[in-house]
Amino acid sequence: MSIPTRRLLGRAALSATAAARTGGRPGAATAAAAGTADGCEDPAEDTDAETTAAPAGGLRFPLGFGWGAATSAYQIEGAAKEDGRGESVWDTFSRTPGRTRNGDTGDVAADHYHRYAEDLDLMRDLGLRSYRFSISWPRILPDGAGAPNQRGLDFYRRLVDGLHERGIAPMATLFHWDLPQALQDAGGWESRDVAHRFADYAEIVFRALGDRVPTWLTINEPKTVVQNGYLWGHHAPGRQDPAAAYLVAHHLQLAHGLAVGALRATGAGRIGPALNLHPCYPADDSAEAARAARLYDGYENRLYLDSVLKGSYPQDVLADLGADSRMVRGIRDGDLATISAPVDLLAVQYYTPIYVTADGGTTRRWPTSEADWQQIYPDGMYDILTRVTRDYGPIPLTVTENGLPTPDTLAADGTVDDTGRISFLRDHLAAAHRAVTAGVPLESFHVWSLLDNFEWAEGYDQRWGLVYVDYPTQRRVLKRSAHWYRTVIADNGL
C-alpha cells in the first residue's frame, strides 16, 4: 500500500446516511457510539441474553452469531528468531532499507508470542466468541519443507487450548503472507512446486491441531500477494512483474485447492478461502465505464471466486491476459478441479469499493481513512455479501476482516478515544445485518484487528486495533471501540 494521505473521515455525513439506510434510527447510532464497558456477562455461555434482551438499536443478529476479531502471525507475534522459527519473505523485505515506513519490521511487533496469555484474557474480557489468527509457516517449517519444528507447533497448541479454555472458537488461517524465505529462494509462488509444499505444510498443521481447530482458512487475500507483492512491489517479495503476478495467482489458487484436499484426507473441520472482495462500480453511466468495471471486477473478485466456487477462471480475464500469458500457459489439466474442491465456507474481507472509469482507471467517491486506498462506504458491505450469495449460492459466509486505521493516541487519563472506529463498525455492521435480513447466510464477523500491529509497508504508523498497543512498554489498553464492541457482543446486536 502506498504512502498514506491523511484525511479527515467525514463522520457526520456518514452517520447521517447510515441512519437513513437503516431505517432512520439515529438513536441507535448515538447509543452505540456512547457504549459503555460495564455489566457484560460472558456471552459464550449466555444464550438467554440473546433471546431476551433486544439491542438498543433493534438490529439483532442470529442466535449464536460468531462475534470475533482477527490478527495475523507476522503482524503481532514478534519473536522472530525464537524457538527455531525460520526466516520469511517479510523478514527479508522489512529489513531491506526503504521498504517499510521508518524501517519498521515485525521482529518484535506486539510481542504476542510472549504475551499470548494476556491477549487471550483480553479476548475473554471482550466476550469474543471467535478468534481468527494465522499460523506462521516458517515457525512450523523453518526451511519451508522437511521435519516440523515442534516448538512452533507447541505455541499454536497453547494458543488454541487457551482459546477453548475461555470459550472462544479458534479460526486458523494457514498462510497470511509470511512465506518461508527458503521457498522464495526456490522460486516463491512463481514455482508450481511451492503450491505442493503448502499442501505438505497444511497437512502437518492439520495433524497437529485438527482436533482443536474447527475452522480453517487457506490463503489470506491471494489478490494482495498478486497485486502488492508482484504488480506494484510494495509488499514482499517486492516485484513489479505483471506476467509473473498472474502465474502467482494461479499457483495460490492451486495451493488453496491442494490444502482443501489435504484436510479432507487427514480429518475433520471446515475449510474455505479468505478473499478480500471489492465491489467494482462504474464511475459514470456510460457503457464504456460499465464494461471497464466488469473487467475490473474480473481481476478483483471473479478470478478468485469463480475458480474456487465455479471451477473456471473468468473468460474475460483470461482473454485479457492472453493465451500466451504465463498464467494461461501455467494452467494444467485437472488444476481447476483441484482448485474447486468443495469448500465449507467463504471468508469475506471487505474494506473498500472501487469506482472504475471508462478508460479503465479508478476514481474516488467517498472519504478515505488514514489508509488512502480505503474509501469508507458501508453499503459496499451489503453489496458484496448479497452479490456473493446471489452469484455463488447459499454457501456459509464469515466476515473475517473489516476495520480501519484511526489516529489513536493514549490520553493522560489512560483512555483511547477512537470514535471514528465505532462509527465505521456500527455502519458496516448495520449493512451486514441488512444482508442477513435479505437472506445472506452470514455466521460470524471479525473486526480487523484485535490489536494494533505491524501494518506491512506502513509499519506501526497506522493503528487498526480495538486494543491500543503502547509499543515501548507493550502495554495493552482497550480503546473506546473495544468497550463498545463488548456491548454489541453482549447484546448480540446494535
CB-wise, 60 or 112, nearer to ligand IFM? 112
Nearest distance, CB of residue 349 and ligand IFM, angstroms:
6
CB-wise, 455 or 491, nearer to ligand IFM? 455
CB 192 within 8 A of CB 183: no
CB-wise, 228 or 492, nearer to ligand IFM? 228
Nearest distance, CB of residue 455 and ligand IFM, angstroms:
5
- Residues forming beta bridges with residue 316, ordered by sequence position: none
What is the spatial distance between Cα 100 and Cα 148, in angstroms, rounded to a whole number? 30
Residue with cell 486495533: 465
Secondary structure class of 158 (helix, strand, coil): helix
Nearest distance, CB of residue 189 and ligand IFM, angstroms:
17
CB-wise, 171 or 331, nearer to ligand IFM? 171
Nearest distance, CB of residue 488 and ligand IFM, angstroms:
21
Q: Contact positions toward ligand IFM, by CB under 6 A? A: 72, 75, 221, 349, 401, 448, 455, 464
DSSP 224-252: HIIIIIIIS-SSTT----HHHHHHHHHHH
Which residue among the candidates 300, 401, 443, 458 is catalytic per the annotation?
401
CB-wise, 149 or 220, nearer to ligand IFM? 220
Beta-carbon count within 10 A of 328 CB: 17
Which residue among the candidates 50, 203, 221, 370 is catalytic per the annotation?
221
Q: At what angle do helices 11-21 and 419-437 cross, to 10 degrees?
A: 20
Burial 12-37 (b: 16+ CB within 10 A, else e): eebbeebbebbeebeebbebbbebee
Among this protein's residues, is 455 annotated catalytic?
no
Q: Which three cell numbers stand for residue 88?
A: 520469511
Nearest distance, CB of residue 74 and ligand IFM, angstroms:
8
Q: Which three cell numbers stand for residue 214?
A: 474447527
Residue of 344, 361, 307, 314 whose CA lies nearest to 215: 344
Among this protein's residues, is 458 annotated catalytic?
no
Give catalytic residue positions: 221, 401
